[in-house]
Amino acid sequence: MEYLLIFLIGLLYSSGIYLMLRKSMVKLLLGLLLLGNGANILIFLMGDIAKGQPPIISKDASIFTQMYADPVPQSLILTAIVISFGLQAFAIILLKRVYQMTRSDNLDTLNTQEVDI
């Protein structure tokens, strides 16, 4: 299972970087999304995939002896998903506005001084 996730992380990172190096703004946005998803899976994998009890220590025990699931990677991934959703929404609106003004999504044509955005 972990080898499959490692392969998936490598695939997401490589395809995300490939798309980010293209000249289209849509491909840049898709590459950024793939890179973010690869980072989320990497955080999840580094947090160790374990099925277990919630990390709650009972009152009579002094140490936790059972297998437990670590909640920190899960909360980090949840926060990253919320932030990436906000970034996606902003980038889509920005992409739409730039396309309306320039009628192109090519990043090389945005470098001209003819159109004031």
- Domain ranges for the chain: 2-51+67-110
Q: Please choose, from the candidates 33, 4, 5, 28, the residue with its C-alpha nearest in 3D space to the C-alpha of residue 18.
A: 28
Neighbours of 48 (CB within 10 A): 10
> What class has domain 2-51+67-110?
mainly alpha
**pLDDT tens string 21-65:** 988 889 999 999 999 999 999 988 887 766 766 667 777 777 766
pTM exceeds 0.85: no
Please, what is the end-to-end C-alpha distance for the chain in angstroms? 48
Six-digit token pair at 49? 């995939």
Neighbours of 84 (CB within 10 A): 17
**pLDDT tens string 77-101:** 899 999 999 999 999 999 899 888 8
